[in-house]
Amino acid sequence: DQQVKQNSPSLSVQEGRISILNCDYTNSMFDYFLWYKKYPAEGPTFLISISSIKDKNEDGRFTVFLNKSAKHLSLHIVPSQPGDSAVYFCAASSGGSYIPTFGRGTSLIVHP
Amino acid sequence: GAGVSQSPSNKVTEKGKDVELRCDPISGHTALYWYRQSLGQGLEFLIYFQGNSAPDKSGLPSDRFSAERTGGSVSTLTIQRTQQEDSAVYLCASSPRQGMGNEQFFGPGTRLTVL
């Protein structure tokens, strides 16, 4: 049973527009959420995170929104660039565990 | 500084053979994780090492899988009597600390193909 779900396996966006990647979770004990980006033949790299005490965290073009009541978070990329084309993984952890649970990833393609 | 390195980058083996995968974490990182990613799947947790504590082996799929971490640094993941379903990318990650918000630094992975 997947505790972290990324229901869209792929997303295609035009350069300059907004990319919105979604993630849902089922475990109400999760209190820390991370996004990783992965290019082909490379390991994932950390992108941005958010604690459950916040509902928004922003870093440059990347913003993560957390809706605890809906158990939903989203990553917004504005404006999208071709170099953002990658697989994005959502991950979640709870304070008592140091082992994050990952979603299956969403492949983002940004067209020039 | 140097990131997490893994070797080999690719490994092709025959069913039934044993394989060893190596991970060199970032110097000073106390936490080390092994994951695997099968085609079309997410990252599946395998094992977690933290300092000198007993490892969390709860993600190992069978007793054919084992891992060790020597001297709190280098780790090897061993798969005995490999099966075709073991084919996947095996990723290692390290983290400088434990606790909430422990961002992980991943290596490039080892792509294992079992024929």
- Asked if residue A96 has pLDDT above 80, the reply is no
Residue A8, token pair as written in the block = 């869209």
- Per residue of chain B (115 residues), what is the pLDDT tens digit? 589 999 999 999 999 999 999 999 999 898 999 999 998 788 999 999 988 888 999 999 999 999 999 887 899 999 999 999 999 999 999 998 765 566 899 999 999 999 9
The radius of gyration of chain A's CA atoms, rounded to the nearest angstrom, is 13
One-letter amino acid for residue B97 of the chain? R
Residue with tokens 């990833």: A105
For B13-69, give the DSSP string: E-TT--EEEEEEPPTT--EEEEEEE-TT--PEEEEEEETTSPPB-TT--STTEEEEE
In this complex, which of A43, A93, A105 lies closest to B106 when CB atoms are compared?
A43
Measured between beta carbons, which residues in chain A are less than 8 angstroms from residue B96?
none
> Over the range B26-50, which residues count as b (16 or more CB within 10 Å of their CB) and which as e?
beebbbbbbbbbeeeebbbbbbbbb
* Pairing between β-strand A106-111 and β-strand A10-14 as defined by DSSP bridges: parallel
Q: Please name which of B85, B83, B108, B107 lies closest in space to residue B19, comparing C-alpha atoms.
A: B83
Cβ-contact B36, B44 below 8 angstroms: yes
- In this prediction, residue A91 has a pLDDT band, given cuts at 50, 70 and 90, of very high
Contact B45 A99 (CB under 8 A): yes
Per DSSP, A112 falls in state: -
**Per-residue CA distances from A5 to A51, A78, B42, B46 (Å):** 18, 23, 10, 19
Residue A107: its H or E element: strand A106-111
- What is residue B71's predicted lDDT score, i.e. its pLDDT? 81
Q: From the candidates B7, B30, B35, B43, which should be mutated to test the interface with A, based on the most A CB atoms within 10 A? A: B43
A57 CA to chain B: closest CA distance, Å?
Answer: 14
Contact B41 A104 (CB under 8 A): yes
| A47-83 per-position pLDDT tens digit | 999 999 999 999 999 999 999 999 999 999 999 999 9
Residue of A nearest to B50 (CA): A98
Residue A3, token pair as written in the block = 């505790």
In this complex, which of A31, A93, A98 lies closest to B31 when CB atoms are compared?
A98
Helices (H) and strands (E) in chain A, counts: 0, 11
Q: How many residues does chain A have?
A: 112
- What is residue B28's predicted lDDT score, i.e. its pLDDT? 87
Contact A101 B45 (CB under 8 A): yes
Pairwise CA distance, residues A57 & A51, whole Å: 9
